[in-house]
Amino acid sequence: MQLASNHDSIERRGSKDDSQAGENKLVELLANKYNVKGLPTTLLITYHIKKREFNKRIASLIDREAIRVETSTVANGNVRKAYALSPLIMDSWKK
């Protein structure tokens, strides 16, 4: 029984590292491929993960102020959402 609980804590640690790596990949996509701003659908398709995981990582980046949400109104009156890197992150990731 104790082995199972040790195994669970190791898995959690691993998933936290995976989450950090996933967040870094999102920042890298925004900085290098999408020129600082990307639409949620486009990022999700390019990133190749489940929507739930994508939303968790985006929410974490928003909480840490690494990215921000920008909205605009399109011709038919719908609101379009885009994720943009914060200026400080943008400067450090540009190559």
Structural domain boundaries in the chain:
2-93
From residue 19, give the alpha-carbon distance in Å to each of 40, 45, 55: 18, 18, 12
How do residues 11-32 score in pLDDT, each as one tens digit?
334 456 677 888 888 888 888 8
Residue 70: its pLDDT value, please?
Answer: 93
For residue 4, pLDDT beyond 50: no
Residue 59: its pLDDT value, please?
Answer: 94
* pTM of the predicted protein model: 0.72
Taking the CA atoms of 64, 69, 20 and 16 in sequence, report the sign of the dihedral they define. Answer: positive
Q: Is 83 within 8 Å of 37 (Cβ atoms)?
A: yes
CATH class of the 2-93 domain in this structure: mainly alpha
From residue 37, give the alpha-carbon distance in Å to each of 12, 68, 71, 74: 31, 10, 11, 16
